[in-house]
Structure 1
């Protein structure tokens, strides 16, 4: 089959409730219940491919709900294991009914494989209320497809950013804890106070995830220009670089050797502050007593929370059970399921405040944290997508080049202008590679 030339690839993984008139006031977004005299439904098997999610997570989050709601359906979960990659399944002719792309790989793992099924007719048929979702997430998948179709519904989690802090270090040095609503300038002053040597041990004041911290910027600034083969808005990227670089110019707050090493520094217990995503998969050991506050804002700027958008539940056009698949997706995204997700610490894609307010309350870790910080500011708009007629560079390549450029500047190997100029050159080379494919 023909390949679409524009295929971004994923790098590293919400108002009121929906009221379907067919549901008689149920807020979960489900279809109308069957009538008592309705004939028994024929047994079917439905295959759900949860790329990027462990089998244990798929089972624990969805199995019981689906079996209870659809007793006539036998569910099989698959994930991206050897032989079960989407390309493998397409080649084998064993295409799942429901798949899980995101906005960065909606082409490479879904549309380019000839799987795309527009959900708009099902939304209309089942009178499904899209306003129950954060609009940012729905708009992004439509924009990512570049054709106006709706190729998925947003599935938790999304990844809001926060400022982490090590309570033990602040207690040890008698410095007040950070607060919600701080600016980057205020955080910088705290980082200076917390960078110190005590009993011959060095304590750093600040770290951040150089890839997600720059990529998920509050200005929704793209890396590759939307209309030209170059780095987007060099002046604004320089400003973003400078904001973070000043932290690494604090004496003794030296950046780690690599982006991944820097991202893991806070978990070692010797860093006071970390700007990062809230991520249920982020591994902070129990001996680090941490909490979070709102992500810092720029003085005079909008108070927005940078975020990485979610993945999506999508139907394959090859499915023989498309209506049932849409009903299954509605159940997996229902208020009931997302309430349980939220209690586990998984941020909801819904705008339902009752679901947002229980974030982490059922988790032994997150129930003790300031999880309200994640909803204090609205999510920043998503990063707009490159014009459809232009060749695109996979997102993981773009963000890795960006992170590497920042690391060079943070280590003092290059000044900001040189680092960005070389980043621009590397992006051009990657565009040319795509053009020559």
Structure 2
């Protein structure tokens, strides 16, 4: 557990504060916002200490009446353990994969009254964000969470490997089918070193679901994965691992293959762009990015929404103050600051978008605007069992085909069977 005084704001909190800055156009503040000194217990899931310190600093300067007491999860420090001990935070930052958990723990509340009271303008959010946020409340129209940055993907590539083999660099606007041919050209053995063409972080791409496929049937609450759509997705994405020399190594992460070993020509997954300049500074690592490829015939479909967010538990006595932090994190000021540091802004601000990455040394000349080409698609009908299907699609789908060498039809049948069994087990609890 990490507890921080007022002088240390985490980047996580900064995001939270920046989120709250959006004001709803049609609504006007209807009551005076409390300014008496309070201590907010903030729980940050899987966020760096550096970000937490930055948030603390920003909130301390903007709101001297708000003191942040921050707990960062990790090890035995988990949100469910805190709730069991009767320690319910006033503000929580969490990953999108944990929405169901927070709902089950009754840690989410409808922010609509706070949006109205603080004059929060939802139209400032990036296209598709509001629609997707509302979908997480079981489509009953509530606004239960506030994302504070986008988590868009791009395709990173190692220019040195492409130059080594005389292959043209990938371009913006490619399809996965077109990328397959490129990956084949840069998958080679040279000087005793196996260079691989392409790898993706499987969980990230399954969650992004660019074909907009349902995971669970909303009516029957049964697996909706043994379909032509998911078959097409798996066949397309696992075709890369069938390239001789490009087999999936389950023991080494794609991040290590790309950054540490520098034997991977192309990769996509979570954005760790902020880490690359330090590697580049050591010399010998020349990289760039292009837009995330899409499926042939579905070039106009974006990705499913995937972003970190804030929630305010219904039991908090300081909802107004917690929302003040969120509102500030979503202000033009804070979003632009975070954008300069390589965090994709969640708002439509042209300034914030244009200054993306300008504060990170080593990004000059990089095609960083490629991240903004990964647009947000309409939400897939969600259920409380989606995470079961998503994780099983990774374990028995991409890895089942790429590592265990199962054919796609067998993999889909096994995924369907296991997902349905897990759902029944959950219902029986």
What is the CA-CA distance between 1:324 and the residue it aligns to? 2.2
Higher mean alpha-carbon deviation, 161-170 vs 194-203, is at 194-203
Is structure 2 residue 181 aligned with structure 1 residue 189? yes
- Deviation string 1:364-394 (CA, Å, 9 cap, x unpaired) is 24445211001135223333302xxxxx436
Please state how far the C-alpha of 1:282 moved relative to its aligned partner.
6.9
Match of 2:156 in 1: 164
User: Quick check: 1:159–1:279 contact (8 Å CA) kept in 2?
Assistant: no
Match of 1:56 in 2: 50
Alignment pair present for 1:68 and 2:65: no
Of 190, 207, 210, the residue aligned with 2:202 is: 210
Counterpart position of 1:225: 217
Task: Report Cα offsets for 1:258-300 as digits up to 9, x if no partner.
Answer: 5x63564323211212232324577794453221101112233
Shift in alpha-carbon separation, 1:140–1:368, aligned structure 2, 3 A: same
RMSD of Structure 2 on Structure 1 (CA): 2.9
Residue 278 (structure 1) aligned with residue 271 (structure 2): yes
Match of 1:44 in 2: 38
TM-aligned CA deviation for residue 426 of structure 1:
0.8
Matched, 1:247 2:240: yes
Displacement of 1:199 in angstroms is 2.1
**Maintained 8 Å contact 1:409/1:419:** yes
Alpha-carbon deviation of 1:212?
1.8
Q: CA deviation at 1:423?
A: 0.9
After TM superposition, the structure 1 = structure 2 runs for residues 1-400 of structure 1, keeping only pairs within 5 Å, are: 41-60=35-54, 62-81=55-74, 84-109=77-102, 111-146=103-138, 147-156=140-149, 158-228=150-220, 229-232=222-225, 234-257=227-250, 261-262=253-254, 264-267=256-259, 268-280=261-273, 285-286=279-280, 287-306=284-303, 308-386=305-383, 392-393=384-385, 395=387, 397-400=388-391
Q: Name the residue aligned to 2:408.
A: 416
Give the direction of change, closer, same or farther, for the CA distance of 1:235–1:49 in structure 2 (3 Å limit): same
Q: How does the TM-score come out when normalised to structure 2?
A: 0.84
CA distance in 2, matches of 1:202, 1:21: 56
Distance in 1 between the 2:106 and 2:203 partners? 31
Q: Deviations over 1:16-63 (max 9, x none)?
A: x956779xxxxxx9979x9xxx9x943222222222223331111x22
- Runs of at least 5 residues in structure 2 that lack an aligned partner in the other structure: 1-20
Q: Secondary structure at the match of 2:69?
A: strand
Aligned length: 400
**Residues 141 and 20 of structure 1: is their aligned pair in 2 closer, same or farther, counting only changes over 3 Å?**
closer
TM-superposed CA distance for 1:132, in Å, is 0.8
Quick one: distance in 1 between partners of 2:194 and 2:111? 55
Shift of 1:424: 0.9
Distance, in Å, in 2 between the alignment partners of 1:198 and 1:168 is: 13
Q: 2:7: which partner in 1?
A: none
Aligned mates of 1:102, 1:144 — CA distance in 2: 13
Counterpart of 1:427 in structure 2 is: 419
| Structure 1: tracts of 5 or more residues without a match | 1-16, 23-28, 387-391
- Give me the whole-angstrom Cα distance separating, in 1, the residues matched to 2:108 and 2:233: 37
Report the 3-state secondary structure (helix = DSSP H, G, I; strand = E; otherwise coil) of the residue aligned with 1:423.
Answer: helix
Q: 1:321 to 1:252 in 2, by over 3 A?
A: closer
The answer on whether the counterparts of 2:42 and 2:68 sit within 8 Å (CA) in structure 1 is yes
Contact 1:205 1:271 in 2 (8 A): yes
Change in 2 beyond 3 A, CA 1:404/1:82: closer
* CA pair 92-283 structure 1, distance change in 2 beyond 3 A: farther
Deviates more, 1:304-313 or 1:164-173: 304-313
